[in-house]
A and B are shown apart, each in its own frame.
Chain A
Amino acid sequence: MTTITQQPTIRRLQFDPASVDWVKILAHIILIAGSIMFLMPFIYVLSTSLKTAGDVYTFPPEFIPDPVSWENYPDALTAMPFDVFFLNTILLAVGRIIGLILSCSLAGFAFAKLRWRGRNTLFFIVLLTLMIPTEVTLIPRYILFSKLGWVGSFAPLLVPGFFAENAFFVFLFRQFFMTMGQDLIDAARIDGCSFVGLFWRIIVPNAKPVFAVVAIYIIQNNWNSFLLPMIYLTDRAKYTLALGLRLFNEQYYSQTHLLMAASVFVVVPIVILFFFMQRYFIQGVVFTGSKG
């Protein structure tokens, strides 16, 4: 409030733009309004998921359910084998973490820290594959896996992971390893450390953040992934949460309260992961995005 009495000339001399109070107040107002706009869909869905079937269709909507119908959650989650969908999703995530982290980090290590002929050419190809949209490889891959008899199993989703299919992760590991000092590596080499030992004892312990970032990306991608699982997982017993929710959406189309409960259930694990691992979500962006 002191700003009202300040002269404009004084204000102009202040260097920190955030030190001017009215700007802060305006920023707060816009941010609070924005936060409400961003949160409202959540609140609305959450409140719908706790309403009785009869209370859902009211206008104007009531945001606080009365009575609170907690049984929507057990009702929705037992209407379909969501426990199986959940385990399938976890299983795929674990498999993809093992495959992708192993293959991508080793490739990233070779590109960043080893000296060999062909390194730059191959790395250029890695960068090129970053630009290929998934649609182009979709059909030949499907034909390949169907000829192998793998359609209907987890293999088409798991096996490519062991072959560093994600060029972005190779790039991410390489960029991070590049920033690590050469001294330690050379010292270990002089002490007779093998290259595998070098990777395992020097690189991995010193690059934990990038491993965490990649693991979290894989979990998130896997949780969100829809098109590929839908093409390959034809058997309901192998459905992931995303596929299960889509099926639920078709069969319980008219039971909005149960549908919202199911979709909240699918969202919650990733929200929890996000709140605890926020630092890593943001770090990944900073590693890659800031340089454009």
Chain B
Amino acid sequence: MLIHKLFKPKRLSFWESLNAWIFVLPWILGFFLFTGGPILASLIISFTHWDIVNPPQWAGLANYELMLSDPLFFQSLKVTTMYALVAVPLQIVVGLFVAILLNTKIRLIGLYRTLFYLPAVLPIVSVAVMWRWILSRDWGLINWFLSLFGVYGPGWLSEPEWALPALILMSLWGVGAGMLIYLAGLQGIPSDLYEAAKVDGAGRWAQFLYVTLPMISPVILFQLVVGLIAAFQVFAQPFIMTQGGPQNATLFYLLHLFRNAFEFFRMGYASALSWVLFMYIAILTLLIFRFSAAWVFYEGEIRNE
């Protein structure tokens, strides 16, 4: 500490700066080649018709106009938004519930944590292949479970009204990743807050409502945004399990984009789709942040109730 203060240079050293720039250089090049550059390029490509083989042709806003008359675009937007609206809140509720259970001091807690987290680390292709079997109408695990209660289960992946709920159900199997983040958040809540609440006569439910929930709300916000972005990137599950069907009931946005780009080689249209998605996610994220002030509590913040 003392040495640091004594020898802290007044001016920036040229040698240090040069070293720093060299260390950051790969990232800078990567930014121009693989991130920043491509974003700009994708905007420009979205104003063209381009199949890669032939030179691109200027199209103006034609790709964006095409979108308005593309029923599959609206279908994919609808499917993805519905998935996000149902799956993300469910994942948050289930994840938080499991995390609170796993935050109690009981025996075998390490084992429970491992079991709940495990599905979240599995390769998505394997998970999709496995769940196609688990969701099978006649021989699947889910319908066997339902049959125990006398319910005759649907053809999850073959009936349009059940395919999306099936994928949402499957996504809940992977709540372990979120659960771990809540767990880290829960363990950061000072125990004297609970003790103070108990002294004030707060029961378990009141403690959850007035201590746990406000203290964990920044983590919930984080999970909401991350979950939303992840929901708009769902691809492997419908690609492997349903190919977007039945009757486009699981035509996720990225699947529609993928087909236009790599099956029909409509690079201009696909780029336009990607930009619209980018804007859509950005606006939703902004809205979430805009309205988060009402329910997210940050430590040290004073509010008038």
Interface residues of A (CB under 8 A from B): 12, 15-18, 23-24, 27-28, 30-31, 34-35, 38-41, 44-45, 48, 56-61, 102-104, 106-107, 109-111, 114-117, 119, 122, 125-126, 129, 131-144, 146, 160, 162-165, 167, 170, 182-183, 186-187, 189-190, 195-196, 199, 220, 223-224, 226-227, 231, 241-242, 245-246, 249, 256, 259-260, 262-264, 266-267, 270-271, 274-275, 278, 281-282, 285-286, 289-292
Report 25 cross-chain contacts, Cβ distance below 8 Å, ordered by A residue: A18-B105, A35-B115, A40-B145, A41-B130, A41-B131, A44-B134, A60-B144, A115-B13, A116-B21, A137-B39, A141-B34, A143-B45, A164-B26, A167-B35, A170-B27, A189-B7, A195-B19, A227-B254, A246-B129, A259-B129, A260-B129, A289-B222, A290-B181, A292-B185, A292-B218
Point out the residues of chain A lying under 8 angstroms from B209, CB to CB. Answer: none
B232 within 8 A of A: yes
Least CB separation from A16: chain B residue: B105
Q: Could you tell me if B133 and A256 are in contact, using CB atoms closer than 8 angstroms? A: yes
Q: Could you tell me if B30 and A227 are in contact, using CB atoms closer than 8 angstroms? A: no
Question: Of B17, B30, B235, B275, which one neighbours A165 at CB under 8 angstroms?
Answer: B30
B168 within 8 A of A: no
Question: Of A35, A104, A142, A167, which one neighbours B116 at CB under 8 angstroms?
Answer: A35
Determine how close the nearest CB of chain A comes to the CB of B129; give it in whole angstroms.
Answer: 4
Q: Could you tell me if A226 and B3 are in contact, using CB atoms closer than 8 angstroms? A: no
Q: Could you tell me if A30 and B12 are in contact, using CB atoms closer than 8 angstroms? A: no
Q: Could you tell me if A160 and B101 are in contact, using CB atoms closer than 8 angstroms? A: no
- A193 and B236 alpha carbons, distance in the complex (Å): 49
B29 within 8 A of A: yes
- A99 and B147 alpha carbons, distance in the complex (Å): 52
Which segment of B62-70, B81-89, B119-127 sits at the interface?
B119-127
Point out the residues of chain B lying under 8 angstroms from A245, CB to CB. Answer: 123, 125-126, 129
Closest CB pairs A-B (n = 9): A163-B30, A292-B218, A140-B38, A289-B181, A164-B27, A140-B41, A290-B184, A110-B23, A116-B17
